[in-house]
Amino acid sequence: MGTVETKEEVTFKLNGIDVTVPKGTTVMAAAKREKVAIPHFCWHPGLSVAGVCRFCMVKVKGRPKLEISCNLEATPGMEVDTVSDEVKDSHKWALEFHLANHPLDCPICDQAGECGLQKYYMSVGKYNSQMTEEKVLKPKALDVGDKLVLDTERCILCSRCVRFENEVTKTGGLGIFDRGDRAIIGTYGDEKITHNYQENLVDICPVGAFTSKEFRFKQRVWFLKEKSSICPGCSTGCAVSIHAKPEMETYFRVKPRYDKKVNGHWMCDKGREILSGLDKKERLENSYLQDQDEFSTCERPDMINHLNSLLSRFRGKKISLLVSAQYTNEEYERLFSFFVEKMGVRSIFQWRSKEEKLNDFDGILLRGDRNPNTRGLLDALRKFHILKEVENEFEACLTSSSDLIFAFSPLLSSSFSSFEEDLARLSKLKSCVCLFTTSYQARDYIGFNSLIPLVSFPEKTGHYTNYKGEKRELEGAYPSFIHEGFDVCELVNELDSNIKASLRA
Amino acid sequence: MMIFSEALKEKIRSYLERYETKRSAILPVLHEIQKEFTYIDDEHILTLEKDFGLNRVHVREVVTFYSAYLTEKPKKFRILFCDSVSCHIEGTQKVMAKIEDFMSSYKKKEKELPFSLEGVPCLGVCGGAPAMFVNEDRYLNVSCDNVEAILKKYDH
Amino acid sequence: MAEHKILTEFEGIKDSRSLKTYLKHGGYQALAKAFQKKPEEIVALVKESGLRGRGGAGFPTGLKWSFIPAHIKERYLLCNNDEGEPGTFKDRYILELSPHMLIEGMIISAFAIGAHKAYIYTRCEFYEEIKWMNEAIDEAYKAGYLGKNILGSGFDFDLDHYIGAGAYICGEETGLISSLEGKKGQPKVKPPFPAVAGYLGKPTIVNNTETLAVVPWIVNHGASAYKAIGTEKSAGTKLFCISGPVKKPGVYEVPLGYPLKDFIEKEAGGLRDGVELKGVIPGGLSAPVLLPEEVEKVTLDYESMASFKSMLGSGAIIVIPKTQCMVELLKVTLDFYHHESCGQCTPCREGTGWLANIMKTVMQAKAKEDCYDKMYEVASHMEGRTICALSDAAAMPTKAIITKFKSELLNYLRRG
């Protein structure tokens, strides 16, 4: 791993400029920090040093040979050069060697556009290939896991995936068999990789050897936008980026972002499924009011008015909130400041999955609490002097004899195995139940008084607080595909101002 | 299911205890398996994992990396002829051609060929170039004149 | 060269491999002497003797030993007996003559570096030699030279014999370590060097068989006696093995600095009748070929070989007759490295295959005349770019053959 934490520092020269780094830092890690690009394939900051691609060559003044920077510890006074002709020539040739037996099938390769070979050809290559001899042929399009397709011919044998399997998941599912230019990456026989971290292999593969079954051939990556977010799939709250094509109103994939304290470089495959409920066709697109056992759509202002009139109608009666732990700190704050402080609501129930195993942990990232913000919810409640432990209070809500329930449903129904069952039971209550949700499934349960469509996590700003108290921001960068969707904070603001107006009146 | 003999299992167990780590036993254990079965197949590797705790991927990496391990049943007599530089200078090509002639005579007689011929890297006996092995028997100064007589000893 | 029979002392002696014979000739007396000294005194002695690694790189042995970090007590000594460099068959000769000399050398060396466990790593094709070595180890255990409290010294030492499985790369010291760990024989990225973190991450010294076998003599006769033999920078004797069309191919021990020409003429009996010299590969296949005029002048030591841009290497002298086609020789050379590259480092994995592939096109008369320039360039970019020296070992002879025999190579193409 690139950086070792110590207090001692060393100063060395990188292309003539003094750079100070903690003792033990490699030249590669230091250069990365300084935004000096040193081409590399096998080095990955989350894995051990392999030193096999021989791409990251640099020159240390006074030493005879070029050296790989990924295994070169910066020492005081060392003068490192990454840009001389000699170094550049070594980079060019390292690339030529990597491409010697590469099939150059970019037009049909899903990695195109984010391939290390392509990227480096443009930055350090641009030579006329001298390789005119026959190439070594190897097996292609192998099914090696639920999520994975492997092309061993494109593989540059950097061993990142092997090290990931050995060091991160400790599943040891991959090996490099045979030797020399016959060396070939693979699982044992035709075994499949089955763990929950397969897509990381796609992420760390610097070429198109591992591609994602889910994403393959769906979209050329250069058409995708990429925005930072937080995975709402469990209480770890991995930093992710969400790749989407806004003009198609489609989310395509989730990739992990580096967050040292939360998820390091990785995320799990469950976390990649968070997009599944975000397709437009699975979303509740409009506001619905129930009228004589039928839902009919209404405009946003009508829904606000409707909710306001309900609040007026039920003033003095028992109003309850049923809230899942999938909203942001800001949403909780806004909800409770209105309902608890202003409306005097004290009856708040946590809506959690019936089958959750709260203390489960896979030893890597995935936690049994499949909500991103359990901690944020409890913290917000505490702020309003409601002290709670983590508990599923759905049953309690059902039997609470509430007159009006504002139910804020889970936004990821995938993490709620009992979601539909819960909806069915909730919709049959005698109480007046308004369901705030993103799921189109809600329309099947006619007993709700009203259905309020919400925007989902890639489309809103705010923070989650993860299981150990790390607060992380959702940048909410995508405009919602659900044009009629409400942002919880804005919605409550409107209710609030209407209430004020009605009080004044 | 191919089952290891008790004697082989005993040998494997002793190798597993012999070194600082179990993994070091992989090479000697594979030598023993090959001695018993003449080659190493998937069943052997999976048995090593199941019964002896040696990781199948690690074992397969070793089996495929080293030339000495065979993954298919070899002919009864393997001729390994050195085709590195000293032996080459001393006539490897001619003698290998002679061996091939000899082997093709089996085809003419429609007899089953008990030999296979492979060129192999330096055998470390270049003072007696050209050198060859027939299974574990080493022959030095092999020539077009004496090679047939050597091979005929094996198939009589 | 009868005056310096250090490693070949047992030549011509009956039953030379037995412990009885070894003891009769003063065997294991150096061990008794060594136990009278402190370990660091033996390290100093070996440093002083000027002994350099006989495996090929010629690194000063005592210096290598002194790199072991003092604070780590679990240490290993490994004997590199994987003799795989084409043309080399000299370590085998030590096993044939006197495996106890190696065992004694290993006990002393282990004592010097503070290792209590050692392995001899031998290539698997040495079926007979493996047996000889195992017998000698058994004898040494029975006689108390191995095991607990050797000769009452309080020093415990175990020696085991590990057999390879057919991979040239295991002759590289960290490839050997990987192999001994039960892995693919892939060299390890350095630093750390094995003296700091080798076998199982513990300080490990890997020495060649010949290097270790000479240690008892140095202990018996002193550093200055050893240093008195050979040249200033290349002390002592060395085993050289000569193959090719000479009258007496074989292994001969001569002092370093001995003229190559004399070696061929006097030791090996000269070229066979009617053979004309085309060149000599002086230090195993990786060593750049020397032309006859260079053979006239060069001496068998590290400096002289370097001055002719070749190397002493493992001491494998391969004589090339005039009739040998250099295109074929280059192809044989490159097929070897292509076959043996471990595949780990990209320039070597791809480069060895690429070079071998170009030679295939040459043989098939499909190559263009600039193919040798291309090969030269590819080879140049394989040098000094990889974890171990296999890539260099493929590049050096390629460049030398292309440079020295260019017109013959071109003629081959033109002939079609």
Per the listing, tokens 């003629």 go with C411
What is the C-alpha separation between A267 and B49, in angstroms, rounded? 30
> Contact A181/C342, CB-based, under 8 Å?
no
* C1: pLDDT strictly greater than 50: no
Say what the pLDDT of residue B2 is. Answer: 55
Nearest to A54 among C346, C353, C358 (CB): C346
Say what the pLDDT of residue C167 is. Answer: 97
Residue spans in chain A of domains classed CATH 3.30.70.20: 100-223
* Domain of residue C115, CATH code: 3.40.50.11540
What is the C-alpha separation between A426 and A432, in angstroms, rounded? 10
Q: What is the mean pLDDT of chain C?
A: 96
* B156: pLDDT strictly greater than 90: no
Q: Does any domain span residue B35?
A: yes
What is the token pair recorded at A345?
């609501």
**Per CATH, the architecture of A280-504 is what?**
3-Layer(aba) Sandwich (3.40)
Q: Answer yes or no: do B103 and B135 share one domain.
A: yes
Q: Answer yes or no: do C114 and C173 share one domain.
A: yes
Fill in the DSSP letter of residue C77.
E
Q: Answer yes or no: do B20 and B42 share one domain.
A: yes
What is the C-alpha separation between A84 and A189, in angstroms, rounded? 45
What is the C-alpha separation between B93 and C6, in angstroms, rounded? 38
Q: How far is B110 from chain C (nearest CA, A)?
A: 33
Q: Answer yes or no: do B61 and B85 share one domain.
A: no
Say what the pLDDT of residue A4 is. Answer: 52
Q: Does any domain span residue B1?
A: no
Region A9-98: CATH code: 3.10.20.740
Q: Does any domain span residue B127?
A: yes
What is the C-alpha separation between B47 and C165, in angstroms, rounded? 21
Q: Does any domain span residue C215?
A: yes
What is the C-alpha separation between C342 and C337, in angstroms, rounded? 9
Q: Are the C-beta atoms of residues A262 and A469 closer than 8 Å to each other? A: no
* C294: pLDDT strictly greater than 80: yes
Residue C38 neighbours by CB under 8 Å, 6+ apart: none
Q: Answer yes or no: do B61 and B91 share one domain.
A: no
What domain range includes position C385?
326-414
Q: Answer yes or no: do B19 and B85 share one domain.
A: no
Domains contained in chain C, number: 3
Give C27 or A476, the one with higher predicted confidence. C27
Q: Answer yes or no: do C169 and C252 share one domain.
A: no
For C324-368, the pLDDT digits (tens) are 999 999 999 999 999 999 999 999 999 999 999 999 999 998 999
A228: buried, middle or exposed (CB in 10 Å: 19+, 13-18, 0-12)? middle
Chains near C (3 or more Cβ pairs under 8 Å): A, B
Q: Answer yes or no: do B88 and B118 share one domain.
A: yes
Q: Are the C-beta atoms of residues A177 and B64 closer than 8 Å to each other? A: yes
For B100-153, the pLDDT digits (tens) are 999 999 888 888 899 999 999 999 999 999 999 999 999 999 999 999 999 999
β-strands A404-408, A432-437: how paired?
A: parallel
Q: Are the C-beta atoms of residues C198 and C204 closer than 8 Å to each other? A: yes
Protein fold of A100-223 = Alpha-Beta Plaits (3.30.70)
* B3: pLDDT strictly greater than 90: no
Q: Answer yes or no: do C97 and C63 share one domain.
A: yes
Contact A182/C at CB under 8 A: yes
In chain B, residues with a C-beta closer than 8 Å to the C-beta of C128 are 138
Say what the pLDDT of residue C2 is. Answer: 46
Q: What is the ipTM of this complex?
A: 0.96
- Give the domain-ending residue among C321, C352, C377: C321
- Give the domain-ending residue among C167, C201, C227: C227
Q: Answer yes or no: do C83 and C142 share one domain.
A: yes
Residue spans in chain A of domains classed CATH 3.10.20.740: 9-98
What is the C-alpha separation between C245 and C284, in angstroms, rounded? 16
Say what the pLDDT of residue C14 is. Answer: 94
> Contact A174/B57, CB-based, under 8 Å?
yes
Contact A189/B at CB under 8 A: yes
What is the C-alpha separation between B102 and B118, in angstroms, rounded? 14
The arithmetic mean of pLDDT across residues C226-235, rounded, is: 95
Q: Answer yes or no: do C124 and C211 share one domain.
A: yes
What is the C-alpha separation between A249 and A458, in angstroms, rounded? 12
N- to C-terminal Cα distance for chain C?
48
Fill in the DSSP letter of residue A182.
G
* Domain of residue B90, CATH code: 3.40.30.10
Q: Answer yes or no: do C217 and C103 share one domain.
A: yes
In chain B, residues with a C-beta closer than 8 Å to the C-beta of C123 are 124
> Contact B64/A173, CB-based, under 8 Å?
no
> Contact C249/B89, CB-based, under 8 Å?
no
Say what the pLDDT of residue B108 is. Answer: 86
* B71: pLDDT strictly greater than 60: yes
Q: Answer yes or no: do C200 and C309 share one domain.
A: no
> Contact A180/C353, CB-based, under 8 Å?
yes
Per the listing, tokens 């001729």 go with B79
Angle at C52 between CA C48 and CA C53, to 5 degrees: 140
Say what the pLDDT of residue C416 is. Answer: 58
Q: Are the C-beta atoms of residues C193 and C204 closer than 8 Å to each other? A: no
Per the listing, tokens 């006619």 go with A446
Q: Answer yes or no: do C391 and C357 share one domain.
A: yes
Q: How many CB atoms lie within 10 A of CB C144?
A: 13
Nearest to C229 by CA among C206, C253, C264: C253
> Contact B56/A188, CB-based, under 8 Å?
yes
Q: Answer yes or no: do B15 and B36 share one domain.
A: yes
Q: Are the C-beta atoms of residues A327 and A373 closer than 8 Å to each other? A: yes
Q: Answer yes or no: do C77 and C202 share one domain.
A: yes
Residue spans in chain A of domains classed CATH 3.40.50.740: 280-504
**C-beta pairs of C223-230 under 8 Å, 24+ apart in sequence:** C223/C45, C223/C46, C223/C48, C223/C49, C223/C50, C224/C48, C226/C49, C226/C50, C226/C51, C227/C48, C227/C49, C227/C50, C229/C4, C229/C255, C229/C256, C230/C50, C230/C255, C230/C256, C230/C257, C230/C301
- Give the domain-ending residue among C261, C288, C321: C321
Q: Answer yes or no: do C336 and C248 share one domain.
A: no
3 state SS of A33: helix
* Domain of residue C408, CATH code: 1.20.1440.230
Q: Are the C-beta atoms of residues C106 and C212 closer than 8 Å to each other? A: yes
Nearest to A245 by CA among A228, A226, A265, A217: A226
Q: Does any domain span residue B85?
A: yes
DSSP string, B70-93: -SSPPPSEEEEEE-SHHHHHTTHH
Question: Which segments of chain A have a pLDDT < 70?
Answer: 1-6, 503-505
For C33-78, the pLDDT digits (tens) are 999 999 999 999 999 999 999 998 899 999 999 999 999 999 999 9
Q: Does any domain span residue B99?
A: yes
Q: For B82, name the nearest residue in chain C, comparing CA atoms only.
A: C86
C149: buried, middle or exposed (CB in 10 Å: 19+, 13-18, 0-12)? exposed
What is the C-alpha separation between A306 and A294, in angstroms, rounded? 16
Q: Does any domain span residue B58?
A: yes
Fill in the DSSP letter of residue C384.
T
What domain range includes position B146?
77-152
Beta bridge partners, A266, equal none
For A325-349, the pLDDT digits (tens) are 999 999 999 999 999 999 999 999 9
What is the C-alpha separation between C52 and C64, in angstroms, rounded? 10
Give the pLDDT band (50/70/90) at residue C250.
very high
Dihedral (CA of B31, B32, B36, B39) sign: negative
Residue ranges with strand state E in A46-183: 57-60, 67-68, 79-81, 142-143, 148-150, 175-177
In degrees rounded to 5, what are phi and psi of residue A400?
Answer: -85, 0
* C260: pLDDT strictly greater than 80: yes
Q: Answer yes or no: do B26 and B55 share one domain.
A: yes
In degrees rounded to 5, what are phi and psi of residue A484?
Answer: -90, 0
Dihedral (CA of C89, C95, C96, C97) sign: positive
Q: Answer yes or no: do C208 and C83 share one domain.
A: yes
Say what the pLDDT of residue A1 is. Answer: 43
Domains contained in chain B, number: 2
Residue ranges with strand state E in C312-384: 316-321
What is the token pair recorded at C384?
């000094």
Which of B46, B47, B48, B57 is the best residue to mutate to test the A interface, defined by the most A CB atoms within 10 Å of its own CB? B57
The arithmetic mean of pLDDT across residues B47-71, rounded, is: 97
The arithmetic mean of pLDDT across residues B9-15, rounded, is: 97
Q: How far is A170 from chain B (nearest CA, A)?
A: 12
> Contact A177/B60, CB-based, under 8 Å?
yes
Q: Answer yes or no: do C254 and C194 share one domain.
A: no
In degrees rounded to 5, what are phi and psi of residue A40?
Answer: -160, 155
A475 vs A208, A241, C24, CA distance in Å?
30, 10, 86
* Percentage with pLDDT > 70 across chain C: 99
Fill in the DSSP letter of residue A480.
P
Q: Does any domain span residue C247?
A: yes
In chain C, residues with a C-beta closer than 8 Å to the C-beta of B52 are none
Q: How far is A183 from chain B (nearest CA, A)?
A: 8
DSSP string, A319-346: EEEEEES-S-HHHHHHHHIIIIIIT---
